[in-house]
A and B are shown apart, each in its own frame.
Chain A
C-alpha cells in the first residue's frame, strides 16, 4: 500500500469538489431537506407524546444516524461513479494503483463526506428542533462507527455491481441502500416486522445499531448485545464484500469489462 497513490486519488476528488457547487450541494442538500421534513413531522407527532413515549428523541436520532449510513455508502459509490463518468478508470487501473489503494481512497472520501454531513445535521437539529444528538451519550461513537462500516459494505457491494454491469446499473448508487432500509428498523423496532423478515433483519448490522439506539434512549440500558452483534456481522461482511470486489474485478478484467465500463 503506497500512501502517495491514495492521496493522489483523494486530491483528484477534492479538486473536483473545490469548484463544483452542485456536488457540494449534493452532499448537504438532501440530508438538510430530510431533516426539515422529518423534523416537522416529528414536531407534529410529538403532540401525541404520551401515547408514543420517547418518540421525538429516537425519531430524529434515527434520521441522523440513517443519513450517516447513507452518506458512507454514497462516499464509496459516487467516488467510483465520478471516475466512470470522467472515463478515467483506464488511466487509474493502467497505473501502478492497486485495487486496495483505490478502496482506501474511496473510504477516505466517504469519511470526509460523513463528517461534513454529520456536523451539518447535528447543528441543524439543535438549532431548528432543540434536539441534541449527543443525548445518545457515549454509545454514539460505536453506533456511528458501525453504521459507517455498514455503509461501506453496501457501497463496495454496489460499486462491484456497477463495475460488472456497467453504467446502466448506476441507479443502484442511489437505490441500493433503500433495499436495506426496511430491514434496518430505522424508525420502528425489529419486533414489528413479520417473523420471516425478522430473521433477515437479524443478519443486518444496521438493525442491531438502531435497536441499540432505541434501548439507550428508552431504557438507558447498555446495548452491549446489539453492539456485539453489529461488530461481529460487520467483520464477517467486510471480509465477504472485499472478496466479492476482488472477484468482480478479476472477472471484469477477464471479460474486458473494465475498459468498457464507462461506455
Chain B
C-alpha cells in the first residue's frame, strides 16, 4: 500500500547567486518524515550554501523553502525552534565548559527540565568524563560529540548534519551513526546528512541528492544512482562527477 505523506522540508527551485557566481541553481528536493536524506557533491557543489539557506543564515536569490508546511522567510522563529544542526566546522564557545554550553543552548531554545535533558544527552553520547571540562581542552572527537549533543539536546524534528563524523575515530563514528539511526527510529527525526565518506552515505541515507556545480544532477537511493551512472559504487559516481566538475572549471 502506498500513500502520500507531507514532506517536513520542501525546497523548490532554490537559487543563490553571489554577483556573477551561481552557488545554487534551481535546486528542488524534499525530505519526508523520519527520512535521512544524503546531500552529496564535490567541494563547491553548493551543499554548504544550501544548508545555510535552510537555516536562514543566507537569503536565497529565488526559490522557496517550506518547513513543516511553513515558509521559512516568514516563519523563521517557529521553524528554527524545531530544527537544529551540527557541523564539524563550527565550534562552541571555547571558554565555557561542556555543561555550560549545553545549559546555554537549552535556555536559548526555552527547554524545560534542563538538568534531566542534559544528563540524558550526556549519557547518550558518552560524555560523562568530560562534561565539566572547558571546551577548549577537548579533543576533536569530544568537540564533535559536543556539537552533536547541542544538536539533539533540543529534540529537533529536522537535523542538518554537515560531516558529523569527519573527525571521529571509526569506533566513535560507528556509535554516532548508530545513535542517529536510533533517534530517527524512535522519534521520527528527519535528517539532512552530508559526508565525504561514501560508505557512510550508503549506510545512512534512505535517499541521496547529488549536487554538481550548484545543480541537482541525481536523486534516488544510493543503488539507483549507482545504476544510473553505470558505476560499481557511490564512490565511483562521486569521482566521475567530481572530475567532470574539475575539467569543466579548468576549461
Stretch from B29-37, B89-97, B169-177, B209-217 forming part of the interface with A: B89-97
The verdict on B107 contacting chain A, using a C-beta distance below 8 Å, is yes
Main secondary structure of the interface of A (DSSP, over half): helix
Interchain CB contact under 8 A, A94 and B18: no
A76-118: CB near B (< 8 Å → 1, else 0) gives 0000001000111011111111100000000000000000000
Contact yes or no, B96 A255, CB < 8 A:
no
Q: Please name the residue on chain A nearest to B79 by beta carbon.
A: A96
Contact surface of A with B, Cβ cutoff 8 Å: 2, 4-5, 7-9, 11-12, 15-16, 19-20, 82, 86-88, 90-98, 250, 253-256, 258-259
Chain A residues lying within 8 Å of B76, measured Cβ to Cβ, are 96
How far apart are the CA atoms of A188 and B39 in the complex, in Å?
64
Q: Is the CB–CB distance between B18 and A255 below 8 Å? A: yes
> Which residues on B are within 8 Å of A, measured CB to CB?
16, 18, 49, 52, 55-59, 76-78, 80-81, 85, 90-97, 100, 103-105, 107-110, 150
In the complex, are the beta carbons of B18 and A256 less than 8 A apart? yes
- Whether the Cβ atoms of A12 and B58 lie closer than 8 Å is no
Within the complex, the shortest CB–CB distance from A24 to chain B, in Å, comes to 13
Kindly list chain A residues whose C-beta atoms are within 8 Å of the C-beta of B59. 250, 253-254
> Quick one: which of A12, A19, A259 contacts B93, CB cutoff 8 A?
A12
Q: Which of A8, A9, A87, A91 has the most CB of B within 10 A?
A: A91
Complex: how many Å from CA A255 to CA B90?
A: 19
Q: Are A96 and B109 in contact (CB under 8 A)?
A: yes
A15 to B108, CA, bound (A): 15
Taking a contact as CB atoms under 8 Å apart, the answer to whether B85 and A94 are in contact is yes
What are 28 pairs between A and B in contact, CB < 8 Å? A4-B108, A5-B108, A5-B110, A7-B107, A8-B104, A8-B108, A9-B108, A12-B100, A15-B96, A16-B95, A19-B95, A82-B93, A86-B93, A88-B91, A90-B57, A90-B90, A91-B90, A91-B92, A94-B55, A94-B56, A96-B77, A96-B108, A98-B77, A250-B59, A253-B57, A253-B58, A254-B58, A256-B58
